[in-house]
Amino acid sequence: MKFALSWLKTFLDTEADADTIAKKLTALGLEIEGVEDASAALAKFKVARVLTAEKHPQADKLQVLTVDTGEGAPLQVVCGAPNARAGLVGVLGVPGAVVPANGMTLKVAAVRGVESNGMMCSTRELGLGEEHDGIIELPADAPVGTSFADYLGSDPVFDVAITPNRPDCMGVYGIARDLAAAGLGTLKPIATGGVAGSYPCPVEIRTDDPEGCPAFYGRVIRGVKNGPSPKWLQDALKGAGQRPISALVDATNYVMLGYGRPAHAYDLAKLTGAVVARRAVDGEGVTALNGKHYILDAGMTVIADDAGVHDIAGIMGGEHSGCSDATTDVLLEVAYFNPQRIARTGQALALSSDARTRFERGVDPGFLDTGLDLLTKLIVEICGGEASEVVRAGTPPSGQKTVAYDPALVGKLGGVDVSGGRQQDILAALGFGVVDTGDHWAVSVPSWRPDVDGAPDIVEEVIRVHGLDAVPSVALPRADGVAKPTATPAQTLERRVRRAAAARGLNEAVTWSFLPESEAAHFADGNGGVWTLANPISEDLKAMRPSLLPGLLGAAKRNLDRGATSVRVFEVGRRYLRGEGGASDEKLSLAVVLAGERTPRGWATGKARAFDAFDAKAEALALLGEAGAPVENLQVMGEAGPQFHPGQSATLRLGPKQVLARFGMIHPSTAKAFDIDGPVALVELFLDRIPAKKAQSGFARAPFTPPALQAVTRDFAFLLPLGVPAGDLLRSVRGADKANIVAARVFDDFRGAGVPEGHKSVAVEVTLQPVEKSYDEAALKAIADRIVAAAAKQGATLRG
Distance CA 370, CA 365 (A): 11
Q: Rounded CA gap, 709 and 293, in Å?
A: 85
Element of type H or E holding 322: none
Backbone φ and ψ for 739, nearest 5 degrees, come out as -75, -30
Q: How far is CA 132 from CA 82, 85, 598, in A?
A: 11, 17, 57
What single string gives the DSSP state of each residue in 696-719? --SSSSPPP---SS--EEEEEEEE
Please check if 19 is assigned to a binding site: no
Query: 461 among the known binding-site residues?
Result: yes
Contact 668, 645 (CB under 8 A): yes
Whether the CB-CB separation of 683 and 571 falls below 8 Å is answered with no
What percentage of the chain's residues is helix, strand, coil (to nearest 5)? 30, 30, 45
CA 755 to centroid of chain Cα atoms: 63
Note the helical H segments in 266-362.
339-349, 354-359
Q: Which residues contact 505 (CB under 8 A, 6 or more apart)?
A: 568
Taking a C-beta distance cutoff of 8 angstroms, is the pair 171, 259 a contact? yes
Separation of alpha carbons 583 and 577, rounded Å: 8
DSSP letter at 58? Answer: T
Distance of alpha carbon 227 from alpha carbon 250, whole angstroms: 10
Q: 451 among the known binding-site residues?
A: yes
Alpha-helix residue ranges (DSSP H) falling in 415-573: 420-429, 455-466, 489-503, 517-522, 549-561
Sign of CA dihedral 462, 465, 471, 476: positive
What residues contact 275, with CB distance under 8 A and at least 6 apart? Answer: 203, 204, 205, 218, 266, 303, 304, 305, 310, 331, 333
Q: CA neighbours within 13 Å on the CB side: how many for 251? A: 29
According to DSSP, residue 725 is labeled -
Candidates 246, 266, 251; CA nearest to 317 is 266
CA 53 to chain centre: 54
Angle between helices 613-626 and 489-503 (to 10 degrees): 140
Whole-angstrom distance, CA of residue 135 vs CA of residue 553:
53
CA distances for 548 relative to 54, 128, 465, 570, angstroms: 70, 48, 45, 9
First to last CA, the chain: 85
Q: How far apart are CA 590 and CA 502, in angstroms?
A: 12
Query: Residue 100 is which amino acid?
Result: P
Pairing assessment for the beta strands 205-207 and 275-279 based on DSSP bridges:
parallel
- For residue 387, give every residue at least 6 positions away whose Cβ sits within 8 Å of its Cβ, in sequence order, or none: 195, 196, 197, 198, 219, 220, 221, 376, 380
Q: How many beta carbons lie within 10 A of that of residue 745, not counting itself?
A: 13
Region class of 63: left (phi > 0), else alpha (psi between -120 and 50), else beta: beta
The full DSSP string for 197-262 is: P-S--SS-EEES-TTT-SEEEEEEEES----PPPHHHHHHHHHTTPPP--HHHHHHHHHHHHHS--
* Binding-site residue set: 451, 457, 460-461
* Binding-site residue set for Mg(2+): 451, 457, 460-461
